[in-house]
Amino acid sequence: MKNSLKLARRNLLKKVLAVSVAPFIFTSAKAQTAEFKLKWANNVPVSHPSTLRIAEALQAIKAQSNGRVDIQLFPNNQLGGDTDMLSQVRSGAIDFFPLSGIILQSLVPVAGINGLAFVFKDYANVWAAMDGDLGAHVRQAISKVNLHSFELCLDNGFRNITSSTRPIQKPDDLKGFKIRVPVSPLWTSMFKAFDASPASINFSEVYSALQTKIVEGQENPLSIIEIAKLYEVQKFCSMTSHMWDGQWVLANQRKWKSLPDDLQILISKHIKNAAIQQRDDMRRLNNGLEAQLKAKGMVFNYPERSLFKDALSKAGFYQEWRKKFGEEPMALLEKYTGRLT
């Protein structure tokens, strides 16, 4: 199983390299006469399933449009950090950009609602909400800020805490803990509720911040910990699964609406298929990552999640965010998670 997964990732990697390098090398007539030349940027490495599946989709879009659409892929923060690329997709400098809803929250407050800590128990719970009424509500809000969001979000995974100094087994272990968090008030609020010391740092700077001890730890899905080689600068991995994170695939709304209907349908179809495949890739990838990270020296522990959720309740975390998100979106969330107090 492990070898077949590695082979599949290797084959996909060859495809993504072809997509990301070809626009800079080949000058065929078809490439030169593309009616629509667009840019797709993301914040994850070339080998990440999100990049790999989108690369396949972009190839198919170009082929099935007979070269009318040529979307160049710029992975791994080539065009800037998250907040910078969000500004670029809004202005039209970038045409497509997948972004965590929790970071998008700075522009669309309700987009961060899926990041409330310890609300989703498993993936069945996640997809029921995000592909259902809650996700539809978020997409409607996104449309009001000059952004188009595609039907299905990509899977980033459940996030876990890593550290260079100590394992996190109970809420008290987070007191005074210097932890990198993405640039989002939700992350900052959650860790402050635990009396930790969160520092907002863009992902492109995470490795160096850990290496230079600016922070002791960070939190990310296992796939990011492995692909970004954070195991080189972190010793402990505490499987808190404190937050599920996904990425909404965003497009500049003005540019999107300028595309002919047939191309909108074609692009939407392939982005949806890519999201479905990426979710399955992430599921299979995460099943084997713990063993891989242990082999690279990481030490795992398994905290009781209910202790952390109870601590947040006592600190008034859920009540605070109920006021910020409002009753309507919270009711949509609680349709899938149960009452949050």
Give the CATH number for residue 114. 3.40.190.170
Residue range 249-300, pLDDT digits in tens: 999 999 999 999 999 999 999 999 999 999 999 999 988 999 999 999 999 9
Rounded Cα–Cα distance for residues 202 and 209 (Å): 10
Phi, psi of 162 (to 5 degrees): -115, 160
User: What percent of the chain has a predicted confidence (pLDDT) above 70?
Assistant: 91
Q: Would the pLDDT of 5 be above 60?
A: no
* Range of 31-35, 43-47, 263-267 with top mean pLDDT: 263-267
**What is the H or E stretch that residue 87 is in?**
helix 82-91
Query: What value does the mean pLDDT take over residues 144-163?
Result: 97
Give yes or no for a contact between 88 and 80, defined as CB atoms under 8 angstroms apart. yes
Q: Would the pLDDT of 121 be above 70?
A: yes
What b-and-e string marks burial along 213-247, b requiring 16 or more CB atoms within 10 Å of the CB? eebbbbbbbbbbbbbbebbebbebbbbbbbbbbbb
Query: What value does the mean pLDDT take over residues 224-245?
Result: 96
The number of distinct structural domains making up the chain is 1
Least confidently predicted of 30-44, 211-225, 309-323, 327-341: 30-44
Give yes or no for a contact between 7 and 190, defined as CB atoms under 8 angstroms apart. no
- At 183, the pLDDT band (50, 70, 90 cuts) reads confident
* Cα dihedral 140/87/89/280 (nearest 10): -70
- At 3, the pLDDT band (50, 70, 90 cuts) reads low
Query: What value does the mean pLDDT take over residues 207-235?
Result: 96
Query: How far out from the chain centre does Cα 284 lie?
Result: 17
Q: Would the pLDDT of 84 be above 60?
A: yes
Token pair 């009452």: residue: 339
Range of the domain at 209: 2-337
Rounded Cα–Cα distance for residues 79 and 94 (Å): 9
Phi, psi of 280 (to 5 degrees): -70, -40
Phi, psi of 40 (to 5 degrees): -120, 120
Q: Would the pLDDT of 32 be above 90?
A: no
Beta-bridge partner residues of 252: 147
How many residues does the structure list for the chain? 341
Residue 105 has a CB neighbour count (10 Å cut-off) of 23
Predicted pLDDT at 138: 98
- Please, what is the average pLDDT of the chain? 91
Query: What value does the mean pLDDT take over residues 211-237?
Result: 96
Between the two ends of the chain, the Cα-to-Cα distance in Å is: 42
Q: Would the pLDDT of 22 be above 80?
A: no
Non-local (6+) Cβ contacts of 309 within 8 A are: 117, 118
Rounded Cα–Cα distance for residues 223 and 279 (Å): 12
Query: What value does the mean pLDDT take over residues 23-32?
Result: 38
- At 132, the pLDDT band (50, 70, 90 cuts) reads very high
